[in-house]
Amino acid sequence: MNAQQQIVAFSTLVKKEIRRFTRIWVQTLIPPVITMALYFVIFGALIGSRIGDMGGYDYMSFVVPGLIMMSVINNSYSNVVSSFYSAKFNKSIEELQVSPTPNYIILAGYVCGGALRGLLVGGIVTCVSLLFTDLKIHSPVITVSVIFLSAVLFSIAGMINAIFANSFDDISVVPTFVLTPLTYLGGVFYSIQLLPEFWQGVSHLNPILYMVNAFRYGILGVSDVSVVGAFIGIFIFLAILLAYCLYLLEHCKQLRS
């Protein structure tokens, strides 16, 4: 397959993924935005007014970056895991695999579709957040870089989950028992400086903590962790998951059963 054919294959996969979540936008785009709006009202406007300042900012401003990141992570992950497992379930992935399309093009197509949904939802949530607080971007480069890399990383993670899943129930196990706890304990709603020293150390083992804080630094200019360390961690996780996903696409028996 030459370069032009690879571009056609990639663009076709991306268009398919975009049509998939835009065709049912009432189910894929609106619910997460409504959920985040409720978070803004409950945690920001109602509870936040009683909490006061955090990290040098009012609580609403502090919590908004974390909620935006949470929406991007959840939607990037869920888009790929549901789409790729559906392709496995109806056997259409077999047709794609017997074609000359390289595995990295298959991976790139699904990941790009997932990342686009995550970023689209994140953009809508950002617009909604402007109804509750003013956002002044401290560092546009860091903000865009972190949100993009996080969307790609969790899109790849969603694909790994889909490869191993044997039923539709399996694609909800990781989001429910792993992703959601890590997100809620990733500094979205609080600064880890409020925790005892032991739990601060435990929190530093949570990769989502670094993404949330790096994104918060990009918007507000404050972070509980080293931003450079956060980027290093993101790139390491990204490289590991990327290599592992390509390996699974080439060798995993679940895709050939």
> How do residues 126-144 score in pLDDT, each as one tens digit?
999 988 888 889 999 999 9
Contact 86, 167 (CB under 8 A): no
For the segment 91-126, what is each residue's pLDDT rounded down to a tens digit?
Answer: 888 888 788 889 999 999 999 999 999 999 999 999
Range of the domain at 204: 3-255
CA 20, CA 77: separation in Å to the nearest integer?
Answer: 15
pLDDT digits (tens, 9 = 90+) for 65-84: 999 999 999 999 999 999 99
pLDDT score at 109: 95
Q: Which residues, at least 6 apart from 197, have a Cβ–Cβ distance to it below 8 Å?
A: none
**Any idea what the Cα angle at residue 182 is, between residues 28 and 135, rounded to 5°?**
65
- The total number of structural domains in the chain stands at 1
Task: Provide the pLDDT for residue 90.
Answer: 86
The one-letter amino acid code at 185 reads L
